[in-house]
Amino acid sequence: MGETPDVTCLREVFEETGYHVNILAFLGHTQYDYIRTDGKNGNKRVEYYLLELADDAAPTPAREAHETFENVWLDPQDALRLLTRDVDKVILQKALAMREVHAGL
């Protein structure tokens, strides 16, 4: 789409969750290979950001018909327990540490 990663983040969060958010900090990225649904190899880069809610508006996700996942709010310890990829656990731990820094501002 020609968007910068931060603009893509804001758009995707809104589309997938219905929440308007602000970016507080960049947390890092991961990159991995995967097999696409057409059987070809793909490569994906995922950028992670620390976000805050921009307003109290009720969320209205704009998902595509095939998307059936559920958004849930979790306690950080529950989220760490449920994450399956170590890299995601590291990013969450970094976000929690940075959240403490931002909360002190």
pLDDT band for 15, please (50, 70, 90 cuts). confident
Question: In one letter, which amino acid is 99?
Answer: R
Instruction: Output the pTM of the full model.
Output: 0.78
Tokens for 77?
A: 């310890």
Q: For the chain, what are the domain ranges? A: 5-56+70-103
The single residue listed with the structure tokens 């931060």 is 6
Query: What pLDDT is stored for residue 9 in this prediction?
Result: 95
CA gap 16, 22 in Å, rounded: 15
pLDDT band for 3, please (50, 70, 90 cuts). very high
Q: Which CATH architecture has domain 5-56+70-103?
A: Alpha-Beta Complex (3.90)
Q: How far is CA 58 from the centre of its chain?
A: 19
pLDDT band for 105, please (50, 70, 90 cuts). low
Q: Please say whether the beta carbons of 96 and 79 come within 8 A.
A: no
Whether 87 shows a pLDDT value over 60: the answer reads yes
Tokens for 22?
A: 């602000």
Listed residue (54, 55, 56, 72) closest to 17, CA to CA: 72
Whether 1 shows a pLDDT value over 90: the answer reads no
